[in-house]
Structure 1
Amino acid sequence: MPLQSQTWSNLRQLLSELPRRRLRLLVFVLLASLLQGLVDVFLVALLARLVGLIAGARVEDYLPGIRVFGGGLLDQSSWLVGLLIAAFWLASMIRFGVSLMQSLLCADVWNDFVNKVYGNLVCQKYDFFVRQRTANLSEKFNRILNGISTGVISPLLLIAGNLVSVVVLLVGVVAVLGLKALAMFALILFAYVLASKVVTPYLRLASKQRIRYSRRINLLLMESLRSMREVQLYAAEKYFISRFSRDGLIAKRYDRIDRLLPDVPRLVIEPAAITVLFLVGLVPALTMGDAEAVRSAIPSLAAVLVGMLRISAPLQAMFRSVNRLRGGLPQIEDALELLSLKPVRYLIDSPGVPTPEGVMPRRFIQLKDVSFSYAPDAKQVIQGVNLTVPIGSRIALVGRTGSGKSTLAHLMLGLFQPTSGELLLDGIAVTDQEVPAWQANCAFVPQSIRLIDGSIRDNVAFGCDPEDVDDDLVWGALEAAQFDDYVSGMNYGLYTLIGENGIKLSGGQRQRLSLARAFFRGAKLLVLDEATSALDNKTENNVMQALDIVGRRCTTVVIAHRLSTVKKCDLIYEVEAGRIVHSGDFDSLCASSSSFRDMALIEEG
């Protein structure tokens, strides 16, 4: 079938992503599985010989060297019992070793895939993350972490290892005991495959439904926890509890079926195998009343019985692994999508990337004839913009919501690449190789702040090794952001934990912490996107005074709706529908732009 062909093609492609050293280790695991099968064959042969001796039956010596057990019954039995005990211990140790190697190999493969995917993700350009839904990326990444490791790689290793052991054991037992054993094993395997075929459709349905409802539960959990304020205000607790309970009950029901069905073939086959074994191997002799034939059959029956028990566990493991693999195969396409991502963004330490000082302009930053759209077939949100920012100046971007102010800031920061036009530094176009060096000179304080679940110190010195952080610089940044007094009053000072995304702080405190992060960076270009919108007038005034001191050491771009924030700016650009419609200082814009004048009048009340 084409689907199957595509699935196996995807599987081969996934395995091709593995380093060669992992494939060498896989070969070693298979060789260990081969040894495990050989030891099991040796066990069966020894047991057949021992039972034959005890029963007084003549056993054909199919294995070379079997005649070393000379002497009387007691001598031979003593040798065989000793060897059997040693062989059982050896088989258990080898089985443990194979399982350990499989687990280690699976963990190494997990680490290889995860590191590669994460490395590929962080080396994508920023517009990649704008186009993608973060929840989708996170969900796919978690699927790489868990699904591919436990649903594809681990089952493959188990199938390969157990298949080698089963084949070696079957061939060995048939070689020792002859065609009668082959016929019995063939019947048992046929019955096992038949039972598996009957169970598999129900197992597949249960697995699919379990995954479906588990995803619904996870989505419901995330949505309700993220919206807890609204849940409580709208008294929606019962609604979410009811949905969670209902979906959880259904998921648990399918989970029970998913766990039970893989054991059904074994529960059916083991008694069926015993029935076949005695019907074929013992009943004919019993019906004929031939005591010698009964004694002769006992060693073979014992050997086949032990062989069946030794094969039963690997077969069951293979059946479980095949079904886990079937459940994991659909996830391969998403895994390959992330694994196939190529790093397209230079890092600051990539070869050929200049120093931040080497690209820092001395005269101006310029957007020249810049247009931009979020997708090739999408409408242009920036259209033919020409914008110049003199070094050391403070400029402002004002305009209605959705006019393109933040997008222009992202273009200046090198986060977006223009659809047409150029970002120029002192008249020289910025190349992809120079973008990391340019961004090392920049800091950005967004309106929608993202803080890490750590301490005040961790957030101010974002991305820095804690051992390399100078606390004096952290306090200086907090002072500039008018946040030092509050932090010094905390029980643990800089080491106070702020919770997930700063949940333990107010909106204004989170904004000041974000400002401190920007000040700590010592950036040459500081972009403030509604960075003071959550501050009261007094605190905003204090922060702007700090900017007068700190900001004159850098170039500042302010995006604001409150015109009081931009009064002291050297130059103001008014943005409308992705275009610069007016520019000038505050007074000249009030005189020349009716829309700017209206905004000023509305704010003055």
Structure 2
Amino acid sequence: MAHQPGLGLRSETAVQLWQLLNFLPPRRLRGFLVLLLVASFVGLIDVVFLGLLARLVGTLSGAKLPNSLPQIWVFGGGRADQAIWVASILIALVWLSNGLRFLLASMQAFLSAQIWSDYGNRIYANILYQPLEYFQGQKTSNLLGRLNLILNQISDRIVLPLLTFLSSIISAGVLTVGIVFVIGSSALLVFGALFGAYALLSALVTPRLRLASKQKIRLSVNINKVIMESIASARDLQLYGAESYFLEKFSDIGARGKRYDRLARLLPEIPRFVIEPAGITILLAVCLFPALADGGRESLQQSVPTIAALVFAALKLSTPLQAIFRSVNRFRGGLPEISDALLLLALPPQRMLQSQARVPSRAGVMPRNSIKLDKVWYRYPHAEDWVIRGIDLVVPVGSRVALVGRTGGGKTTAAHLLLGLYQPQQGCISLDGIPLEESELSAWQGCCAMVPQQIMLLDASIRENVAFGIDPNSIRDNAVWEALESAQLSEFVSELPYGLYTMIGENGLRLSGGQRQRLALARAFYKKADVLVLDEATSALDNKTESEVMDALELIARRCTTIVIAHRLSTIKNCDRIYEFEGGVVKAYGNYQQLQERSSSFRELVSRANG
């Protein structure tokens, strides 16, 4: 498949298409072959049908009929016998042909759906196997936001048009070769003219269709952007009275988009409206006018079967030719998505999963004495500035450690490094003095939990949110209630009409900020993690609730190591060790009292807090 001249594509596109098909499992490629086989049968039946139709028309018109099938008696019998038998066979062939066409359409739809699943499952698995850094790049965010669009475009504008193109080209090719073989040079002339007209129209229409499709997609993206911006800004929209601004913007983009949409729908229909009358004109010019020019009744009578067969053949051919034209243009419309799809399909897994056999158990990697960042340097992918600069940080197992400092100092990044979510460019994470190996990373993360500043909740029940990522049939309700109790949320949940089964809406829309934060805490408690990171995890709680949650954490801290990132002094006061960050380095560390003595900036923080 080095090139596809029928598609008029560059070799680069053909190579990309070949690469795309290579990601399919062998059973899908076998499905392609079966599809082509059925398409060839459709073309073959059409050839037989047209030959018999010519015979029937000749029989009824009184033309001389050579006994081309002498072994079948009815074709050598009387005209009445021939007409009856040929008509009966034609009826059977019509039903068989349309049955096969329905089968062909069903196979195309089935194969397209299966291929969407093949690509979708592979891409989604590849994405989930990536490290956290992969999801935080701007280019990646845009790509992931378009993931479903890419898959649908590949299915609707690459795979399905390709299936349609191949099956149509096979059935049209078999029909053309068969008719030319049966009828001769006149058929070759007619069909050559038809194909030439299609090629000419394609060359004229395609650039305009491509432009209309591009503009349609661009304006569709813009209109979605307007909708999302207006919904996300609903509060400001009402306070500023900006409804008319967004309405006008929506109306203007929508009107322009529909103009291009109208063109994108109309242009593919042009060949059908031009080719049908052109085909009849060519047919009459090639077959009928020469017979009329001879002036003899017999000559005219003899041309009737040929004209009938060619007219019907032209009508039969118009359907696959139109399908070929449509599929080529739809295919071209999907070409921009091939590169992105190949990028995602070829994405190599970057980490092992906790469920994989080669990954050790949680107990096998959990340290007994310390977790350490050892001379660690880190910067984000494609960034020049270091976020973490050669820090040494020790977290004794079973202790509570706080990370404090100004925003942007590197606290959250250091926590991500401790959890193995980021990989340092220099230095290492060590457990009990032994560097953490890549094969142990998933097991180590299985020991950890984190409650971040930006909480993401599922559009599901409270029960499923607490037992995150666990099959609903495997959730232990007693453990869910224990986790909710520790997060000071059990009383609220017990008063809800549906209790644990209450749906919380998209990202916890039906909960207050404090309730969402406590639900995220309950999720971490349910996991019974050995290491718990709280990144401003109590910032949305009032003082009383924060005190209750911290009391619960005191109990939990007896069986887990806690790392707290916080600005509230009440949260860090009882920590065993506090690290103060500034500019990506550890400026000072010690317990609360020691840090006041060692760091002027920490003393200033305490002074401001005490007012």
TM-score w.r.t. the length of structure 1 is 0.98
Question: Any conservation in 2 of the 1:460–1:513 contact (CA below 8 Å)?
Answer: yes
Give the match for residue 358 of structure 1.
Answer: 364
Query: Which of 457, 462, 478 is equivalent to 2:468?
Result: 462
1:61 positional shift: 5.3
Matches within 5 A, 1:343-382: 343-375=349-381, 378-382=384-388
Aligned-partner residue type, residue 363 of structure 1: N
Q: Give ranges in structure 1 of 5+ residues lacking alignment.
A: none
Kindly provide the CA deviation profile for residues 34-85 of structure 1, in whole angstroms up to 9, marking residues without a partner as x.
1110000000001000000000002445568566423212111110010000
Partner of 2:531: 525
In the other structure, the counterpart of 2:499 is 493
Alignment match, 1:233:
239
Distance 1:554 1:19, change over 3 A: same
Q: Give the AA of the match of 1:144.
A: I
Distance 1:230 1:160, change over 3 A: same
- Tell me which of 102, 105, 112 is aligned to 1:106: 112
Deviation at 1:123, TM superposition (A): 0.4
Mapped to 2, the partners of 1:233 and 1:523 lie a distance apart of: 44
Q: Which residue pairs with 1:505 in the alignment?
A: 511
Q: Residues 385-407 of structure 1: CA distance to partner in whole angstroms, max 9, x if unpaired?
A: 11111111101000001100000
- 1:94 lines up with 2:96 in the alignment: no
Distance of 1:347 and 1:258 partners within structure 2: 45
* Pick aligned residue for 1:413 from 408, 419, 436: 419
Counterparts of 2:312 and 2:545, CA distance in 1:
82
Q: Residue 593 of structure 1: CA displacement?
A: 1.0
Shift of 1:369: 0.5
CA distance in 1, matches of 2:351, 2:237: 41
Distance 1:63 1:126 in 2: 73
Partner of 2:202: 196
Equivalent-residue separation in structure 1 for 2:308 and 2:301 (angstroms)? 11
Give 1:10 shift.
1.1
Give 1:277's aligned residue: 283
Say whether residues 1:443 and 2:468 are aligned partners: no
1:274 positional shift: 0.9
| In 2, Cα distance between equivalents of 1:338 and 1:505 | 36
Q: Say whether residues 1:573 and 2:579 are aligned partners.
A: yes
After TM superposition, give the deviation of residue 376 of structure 1 in Å. 5.7
Q: Does 1:19 align with 2:2?
A: no
- Code of the aligned partner of 1:17: F
Q: Structure 1 residues 573 and 171 mapped into 2: Cα distance closer, same or farther (>3 Å)?
A: same
The Cα of 1:228 is off from its aligned counterpart by 2.3
SS of 2:59 mapped into structure 1: helix
Partner of 1:327: 333
User: AA paired with 2:416?
Assistant: H
Counterpart of 1:262? 268
Q: Write out aligned runs for 1:470-481 (5 A).
A: 470-481=476-487
Q: Secondary structure at the match of 1:527?
A: strand
- For 1:133 and 1:239, locate their aligned partners in 2 and report how far apart those are by CA, in whole Å: 30
Counterpart of 2:126? 120
Identical aligned residues as a percent:
53
> Aligned AA for 1:305?
V
Given the alignment of the two structures, is residue 250 of structure 1 paired with residue 279 of structure 2, yes or no?
Answer: no
Specify the SS of the correspondent of 1:503.
coil
Q: Corresponding residue for 1:52? A: 58
For the residue of structure 1 that corresponds to 2:438, the secondary structure is: coil
Secondary structure at the aligned position of 2:450 is classed as strand
- Which residue identity does 2:388 align to in structure 1? I
The yes-or-no answer on 1:390 pairing with 2:396 is yes
Which of 571, 574, 595 is the aligned partner of 1:589?
595
Provide closer, same or farther for how the CA distance between residues 120 and 371 of structure 1 changes in structure 2, counting only shifts above 3 A.
Answer: same
Q: Which moved more, 1:16-25 or 1:163-172?
A: 16-25
CA shift for structure 1 position 519 = 0.6
Q: 2-side partners of 1:235 and 1:576: how far apart?
A: 43
Task: Say if 1:141 and 1:207 are closer, same or farther in 2 by CA, change over 3 A.
Answer: same
In the alignment, which residue of structure 2 is the partner of 1:73?
79
Structure-1 residue corresponding to 2:319: 313
CA contact (8 A) 1:359 1:438 kept: yes
Contact 2:69 2:75 in 1 (8 A): no
The CA deviation at 1:232 is 2.4
1:143 Cα offset (Å): 3.0
Q: Which amino acid aligns with 1:523?
A: A
Residue 432 of structure 1 corresponds to 438
Is the contact made by 2:410 and 2:582 (CA closer than 8 Å) also made in structure 1?
Answer: yes
Q: Which residue of 2 aligns with 1:169?
A: 175
Distance 2:261 2:139 in 1: 29
Asked if the contact 1:62/1:175 (under 8 Å) is kept, the reply is: no
CA distance in structure 2 between the aligned counterparts of 1:229 and 1:348, rounded to whole angstroms: 42
Q: Deviations over 1:195-221 (max 9, x none)?
A: 222211211111111111111112222
- Matches of 1:326 and 1:335, distance apart in 2: 15
Distance in 2 between residues matched to 1:68 and 1:148, nearest whole Å: 52
- The reply to whether residue 337 of structure 1 matches residue 343 of structure 2 is yes
Choose from 129, 133, 137 the match for 2:135: 129
Alignment partner of 1:534: what SS? coil
- Structure 2 unaligned residues grouped into runs of 5+: none
Residue 161 of structure 2 aligns with which residue? Answer: 155
Change (3 A) 1:34 1:341: same
Instruction: Give 1:296's match in structure 2, choosing from 288, 297, 302.
Output: 302
Task: Summarize the Cα distance change of 1:579–1:61 in structure 2 as closer, same or farther, 3 Å threshold.
Answer: farther
Distance 2:201 2:68 in 1: 33
Equivalent residue letter for 1:98: L
> Structure 2 counterpart of 1:506, which letter?
S
Could you say what secondary structure the match of 2:353 adopts? coil
Q: Which amino acid aligns with 1:147?
A: Q
Alignment root-mean-square deviation, CA? 1.6
User: CA 1:62–1:6 in 2, change beyond 3 Å: closer, same or farther?
Assistant: farther
Provide the rounded CA distance (Å) in 2 between the counterparts of 1:67 and 1:252: 62
1:140·1:335 contact (CA, 8 Å) conserved in 2?
Answer: no
CA contact (8 A) 2:135 2:141 kept: no
CA 225–64 in structure 1, closer or farther in 2 if over 3 Å, else same: farther
Question: TM-score, normalization: structure 2?
Answer: 0.97
Residue 178 (structure 1) aligns with: 184
Give the distance between the partners of 2:444 and 2:383, measured in 1 at CA.
29
Give 1:298 deviation, angstroms: 0.7
**What is the count of residue pairs matched by the alignment?**
605
